[in-house]
Structure 1
Amino acid sequence: MSIVPLIKVNMVGVLDDKDTVLEAAQAFGSLHLIPLVSAQKELEAVPAGLGRDAVDALRWLVDCSDQRRPETRADKFDLDDVVEKTLKNRKALKTCQDLLAKLERRIQDVEPWGEFSFSDLAEIGDNRLWFYVVPNGKLREIDPSDKILETVHRDRFRSYIVLLAPEEPETGAMPVPRTHVGAIPLSALRQRHEDAAIDLEELELERQALTKWRFVLAQNLAAARDTSARRRAALETADTGRVFVLQAWARRDQVSEIETLASKLGIAALFEDVTEEDAPPTLLENAHAMEAGEDLVEFYQTPGYRDWDPSAIVYVSFIVFFGMIMTDAGYGLLLLLFLFLFRKKFAGSALGRRMYRMSCWLMVSTAAFGVATGSYFGVAPPEGSILNHFKILHLKDVDTMMKITLTIGVVHIVIANFLRAWHERTPSGRYQPVGWCLVALGGLATFLGQGTVVATIGPTSVIFGLLLVGFFGSDRKVDSVASGGLRIFDGLAALARIVNIFSDVLSYMRLFALGLAAASLAETINSLSGQLNQSVPGIGILIAILVLAIGHAINIGLGLIAGCVHGLRLNVIEFFNWGLKDEGTPFRPFKKEETRL
């Protein structure tokens, strides 16, 4: 694990060659550009002519469930025509779906009234038809002596009544407001519904046919974004007369490659080392197995360029913490099986492959801690069995589990302070973390070694650590009474963090609490399903299986959320708080965009 050393590159060339140089730099794909001039902030990612319409069209085609074989030849592709047809299809298809839903609701409302059509007013003595849906319990409130009405349909709860009158009856004449049925007969509504359903099928087939252009459309969008990125980069170079200067950060080990590129382009390449005034971006580099740790770190905070890379430690500790929180062998193995079955879903990108590897290790950790605590879907292994021999942790042994989790917390924070001291260069930066290491270890020794010789060493370590922290509270030079007073104030301010280290260590108790909660919930689910099976003969076993499936699914979901949130929180809050000093900016290479579907 390391932060890659960088060097500042200045490319100087003729202004007429700037576009060529930018395209070559983008193809090189390893330069983090430094803006020398403020670019237009409103410059869009996709230029006019492609715009959001093309992005929306591509999304519409990619989301189609039935995909055609993609066309890869661009000679038959007309961008404007494909985008226009796709967006027209989307609008028509959504309109048709809305019409179908409206017709289905209308048919459902009209169906109880049966097939009818309105007669001419003159044929029925200038009377009109008024429709009412009356709950059966309110039928007694209707006075039929002064009304011409007919019940055309009745079910268990409602009666459908048609009233004949020249004007709408006054409020109160009927127990419910009238229903608006409309003038379109039921047969006509059904015919319209059938026509709309046929139109919808044709639109879906048209959408399916258009999906063959998704790959070429994605290529055009990627090329458009590349062009837009070069346009922005061109605005951020320093141009003077006929000369331009392109400045960027690059890996120090790529100097020879950059020199070769500059020679090929016929431009000058000048290199500068990083100075104290510079604020370079941070490029993390880890072994293949630990790459996912970079994603975990940058999810919350990128370490400063002059800091250290915590990716490997965060990766390992996150896996351990996650396993302690879920702590069930059955859950871990089940989810590991699901990961294996859906492994191809992760293979489409480098990020997906990293997440797949990390997810597998998370499930292995969950299974391992489940074996250690003897939890298999909340069921403990029988006494004397082989699995029972591997049960070395007892979640309900509060004293032991508290000691284990507090030890983990102290070790985690000590590692953070030690690595910070290792990478610092000032006396204060080096010895303050060492002092906090002594405080944390001394406090742990006092807690664990009660009644032993270790308990007497603990307070001594705490006192010595606090003296170290207070004395090296700052690097302020004492050359007067005022500066001496300020130095004392700095030391006292540094000592105030003893509250932080105490609360941060206690935060690791959540590992035990959440693990115990997950195991207890699993046991409760099993107990509840067993009681249901015994109390309801016959069908009880089906109810018990349903309770088991739903209950354990909920418990797994809660465990995944808790494992991710709290497992990551202990790293990015408690660990980073003691281990990292500065926050940096991530290294963003100027490179061509990949075509993705």
Structure 2
Amino acid sequence: MTIVPLVKVNLIGILDDKDKVLEAAQTFGSLHLIPLSSAQKELEAVPEGLGREAVEALRWLVEGPVQRRPVTVSDDFDLETIVPQALQNRKALKACQDRLAQLERRIRDVEPWGEFSFSDLAEIGDNRLWFYVVPNGKIDLIDPAGKIMEIVHRDKYRAYVVLLSPEEPPSDAMPVPRVHVGTLSLSQLHHRYEQAAIELEDLELERQSLTKWRYVLAQNLAAARDRSARHRAGLETADRERVFVLQAWARKDQVSEIEDLAGALGLAVLFDQVSDKDKPPTLLQNTHSMEGGEDLVAFYQTPGYRDWDPSAIVYVSFIIFFGMIMTDAGYGLLLLLVLFLFRKRFGGSELGTRMLRMSAWLMISTTAFGIATGSYFGIAPPQGSFLAHLKILDLKDVDVMMKITLTIGVVHIVLANTMRAINAKTPSARFQPLGWSLVALGGLATFLGQATLFATIGPVSVVVGLLLVGFFGSDRMVDSVSSGGLRVFDGLAALARIVNIFSDVLSYMRLFALGLAAASLAETINSLSGQLNQAVPGIGILIAILVLAIGHAINIGLGLIAGCVHGLRLNVIEFFNWGLKDEGKPFRPFKKEETRL
């Protein structure tokens, strides 16, 4: 785990060659550009015709349920034709689906009335038909006097009544308000439904046909965004008469490659080392197995360039914390199986591969802690069995679990302070973290070593640590009474963090609390399903299985949320609070966009 050393690159060339240089730099793909002049924000947008509409069209085609073989050669591709076609297809298809749903609903409402059509008013003496759906219990409330009515259909719950009258009957004439059947007969509704269904099939076939352009469309979008990025980069160079300067940050170990690039392009190149006034971006570099830690770190805060890379520690500790929170071997093995079955869905990108690897380790950690605590879908293994011998922790032993979680908290915070001290440049920045480490270790020794020698050593360690923190409260020079007073004030202000370290260590108790809660909920689900099985003979087994499935699914969902939120929070809040000093900005290489589907 390391923060890659950078160097400032200055490329100087002829203004007429700037476009060619920018494209070469984008192809090189390892330069973090430094703006030398401001660019208008509106120029960051993708050019007209290749923007949001094209993105929406591409998404519509990629998400199609049936895909044709993609066209990879764009000779016959017309962007201005395909994009409107795809968007029009989406609009028409969704409108057709809505129309089908509406017709299906109308048919369901009209079917009880049977096949009918409205006659000319003159043929029936200027009378109109009024429709009512009357519950069977309210039929007797209808007064037939002076009414021309007919019950055209009746089922178990309601009667369908048609009333003949020139004007709408008063509201108290019937026990229920009238319903609106519409002017279309049942046969007409069925005919329209058939036409809409055929239209929908045609639109789906059109969408399927258009999917052959998805690859070429994606290429055009990537190329458009690349052109847009070059356009903006061109606005941020320093141009003077016939010369331009392109400035960027680059890896120090790529100096020779940049020199070769500059030579091939006919550019002058100057390299400047990082100065104290510079604020370079941060480029993290970890081993292949620890790359997932970079994503966890970047999720909350990128460390400063002059700080240190916590990726590996955050990665390992997050996996451990997640396993302690889920802490069920059955859940871990089940989710491992799910990951295995859906592993191909993660293979489309480097990020997906890293997420799959990290997810597998999270489930392995969950399984390991589940075995250690003897929890298999909330069921403890039988006494004397092989699995029972593997149980080394009891979640219900509050005293032991409290000691374990507090020890983990102290070790985590001491590790953060130690790494900060190692990478510090000033006495204050170096000895304050060491002092807080002694305070944390001393407090833990006092708590764990009651009635032993550690109970004596612990308070001494706390006092020594506080003296270090107070004495090295700042790097202020003492050359007068006022500066001496300010130095004392700095020390007292630094000592105020004792409340923080105490609360941060206690915060790790959530590992035990959440693990116990998950295990207790799993046991409760099992107990409840067993009681239901006994209480309802026969069908009770089906109810019990349903309760088990739903209950454990909910518990797994809660465990995943708690494991991610709290496992990550202990790293990015408590750990970063003691381990990192500065927040930096990520290294964003100026490179061409990849075409992915």
CA distance in 2, matches of 1:571, 1:277: 30
Instruction: Please say if 1:131 is aligned against 2:138.
Output: no
Q: For each residue in 1:119-142, what CA deviation from the matched residue of structure 2 results, as whole angstroms up to 9, or x when unmatched?
A: 111111111111112223332332
8 Å CA contact 2:8–2:273 kept in 1: the answer is: yes
CA distance in 2, matches of 1:120, 1:336: 70
CA distance in 2, matches of 1:277, 1:158: 83
Map residues 295-444 of structure 1 onto 2, 5 A cutoff.
295-444=295-444
Query: Which residue in the other structure is 2:522 paired with?
Result: 522
Query: Which residue in the other structure is 2:281 paired with?
Result: 281
- TM-score normalized by structure 1? 0.99
8 Å CA contact 2:151–2:160 kept in 1: the answer is: yes
Determine helix, strand or coil for the equivalent of 2:257. Answer: helix
Query: Which residue in the other structure is 2:466 paired with?
Result: 466
Query: Which residue in the other structure is 2:572 paired with?
Result: 572
Query: Which residue in the other structure is 1:547 paired with?
Result: 547
Give the total of aligned pairs: 597
Map residues 9-24 of structure 1 onto 2, 5 A cutoff.
9-24=9-24
| Superposition deviation, residue 531 in structure 1 | 1.7
CA distance in 1, matches of 2:18, 2:213: 33
> Deviation above 3 Å: which 4+ runs of structure 1?
none
Q: For each residue in 1:388-409, what CA deviation from the matched residue of structure 2 results, as whole angstroms up to 9, or x when unmatched?
A: 1111101000000000000000
One-letter amino acid matched to 2:175: P
CA distance in 2, matches of 1:141, 1:475: 93
One-letter amino acid matched to 1:279: K
| Superposition deviation, residue 44 in structure 1 | 4.0
Determine helix, strand or coil for the equivalent of 2:275. Answer: coil
Determine helix, strand or coil for the equivalent of 1:101. Answer: helix
Determine helix, strand or coil for the equivalent of 1:77. Answer: coil
Determine helix, strand or coil for the equivalent of 2:244. Answer: strand
Query: Which residue in the other structure is 1:163 paired with?
Result: 163
Query: Which residue in the other structure is 2:504 paired with?
Result: 504
CA distance in 2, matches of 1:449, 1:137: 79
One-letter amino acid matched to 2:107: I
Larger deviation, residues 393-402 vs 537-546: 537-546
Q: Return 5+ residue gaps in structure 2 as ranges.
A: none
CA distance in 2, matches of 1:65, 1:558: 32
CA distance in 2, matches of 1:356, 1:121: 71
| Superposition deviation, residue 415 in structure 1 | 0.2
CA distance in 2, matches of 1:247, 1:174: 84
Query: Which residue in the other structure is 2:87 paired with?
Result: 87
Query: Which residue in the other structure is 1:258 paired with?
Result: 258
One-letter amino acid matched to 2:233: A
8 Å CA contact 2:284–2:294 kept in 1: the answer is: yes
| Superposition deviation, residue 436 in structure 1 | 0.3
| Superposition deviation, residue 173 in structure 1 | 2.1
Map residues 203-214 of structure 1 onto 2, 5 A cutoff.
203-214=203-214
Query: Which residue in the other structure is 2:178 paired with?
Result: 178
Map residues 35-54 of structure 1 onto 2, 5 A cutoff.
35-54=35-54
CA distance in 1, matches of 2:519, 2:52: 49
8 Å CA contact 2:44–2:229 kept in 1: the answer is: no
- TM-score normalized by structure 2? 0.99
CA distance in 2, matches of 1:208, 1:36: 48
One-letter amino acid matched to 2:549: A
Q: For each residue in 1:171-215, what CA deviation from the matched residue of structure 2 results, as whole angstroms up to 9, or x when unmatched?
A: 322222221111110110011001100110110011011111101
CA distance in 2, matches of 1:315, 1:292: 7
CA distance in 1, matches of 2:559, 2:310: 25
| Superposition deviation, residue 379 in structure 1 | 1.1
CA distance in 2, matches of 1:243, 1:574: 50
| Superposition deviation, residue 551 in structure 1 | 1.3
Q: For each residue in 1:292-317, what CA deviation from the matched residue of structure 2 results, as whole angstroms up to 9, or x when unmatched?
A: 00000000000000000000000000
Query: Which residue in the other structure is 1:225 paired with?
Result: 225
Q: For each residue in 1:228-249, what CA deviation from the matched residue of structure 2 results, as whole angstroms up to 9, or x when unmatched?
A: 0000000100101000010000
Identity %: 80
Determine helix, strand or coil for the equivalent of 2:163. Answer: strand
CA distance in 1, matches of 2:393, 2:446: 23
Q: For each residue in 1:400-445, what CA deviation from the matched residue of structure 2 results, as whole angstroms up to 9, or x when unmatched?
A: 0000000000000000001001101111100110110000000000
Residue 513 and residue 85 in structure 1: after superposition, are their counterparts in 2 closer, same or farther (change >3 A)? same
Q: For each residue in 1:21-65, what CA deviation from the matched residue of structure 2 results, as whole angstroms up to 9, or x when unmatched?
A: 000000000000001111111224421122222111100001111
CA distance in 2, matches of 1:440, 1:44: 50
Query: Which residue in the other structure is 2:198 paired with?
Result: 198
